[in-house]
Amino acid sequence: MRTPLLLALVGLLAPDLADGQASAGPQTVVVELSSFKFAPTSIVLQTGMAYRLQLENKSSKAHNFTSDAFFASAKVEPEDLSKIKHGGVEIPAGQTVDVQLSPGQPGEYQVKCAHFLHASMGMTGTITVR
């Protein structure tokens, strides 16, 4: 008699778990932008998973996170599409911009800050999609 009651309580308290599914939202990946680097410089993502790229500009100057091929292949959430312009996301000084997406094709994608000379000063990195 206790087993059906316990299952009913589990179903009420955690309906996604009762169905055998996790209710986790997108996994957050934090990238710090500063003068003149990304941290981390390398990110590994899995196809079929949802992510929230949290782009934090710790600098007193604007930067961007640009990867034409990566953003072109990713499925970006509709509410975040307008944040991507010219293959990148602009992050004002001292601000954070979040972009929710699911990676597209597996491969290695180059990332850079496209502001004048920033990439040559070290603002580069990679996104590996597996």
Q: What is the pLDDT of residue 108?
A: 98
The CATH superfamily holding the domain 24-129 is Cupredoxins -  blue copper proteins (2.60.40.420)
**pLDDT digits 0-9 by tens, 7-25:** 333 343 444 444 444 457 8
Q: Token pair 């996170």 is at which residue?
A: 65
Q: What is the model's pLDDT at position 109? A: 98
> Is 30 strand, coil or helix?
strand
Q: Cβ atoms within 10 A of the Cβ of 65, count?
A: 27
Query: pLDDT digits over 85-108, tens only?
Result: 999 999 999 999 999 999 999 999
Please report, for the chain, the start and end positions of each structural domain, with discontinuous segments joined by +: 24-129
Residues 114, 88 contacting (CB under 8 angstroms): yes
- Backbone φ and ψ for 22, nearest 5 degrees, come out as -80, 150
Q: Mark out the alpha helices in 42-124 (DSSP H runs).
A: 68-73
In the chain, how long is the greatest CA-to-CA distance?
71
Strand, helix or coil at 114?
coil
The mean pLDDT of 68-78, rounded to a whole number, is: 97
* Mean pLDDT value across the chain: 87
Tell me the residue ranges of DSSP E strands in the chain: 27-34, 37-39, 42-45, 51-57, 63-66, 75-76, 84-85, 88-91, 96-102, 107-112, 124-129
Q: Exposure of 8 by Cβ count < 10 A (0-12 exposed, 13-18 middle, 19+ buried)? A: exposed
Predicted confidence band of residue 50 (pLDDT cuts 50, 70, 90): very high
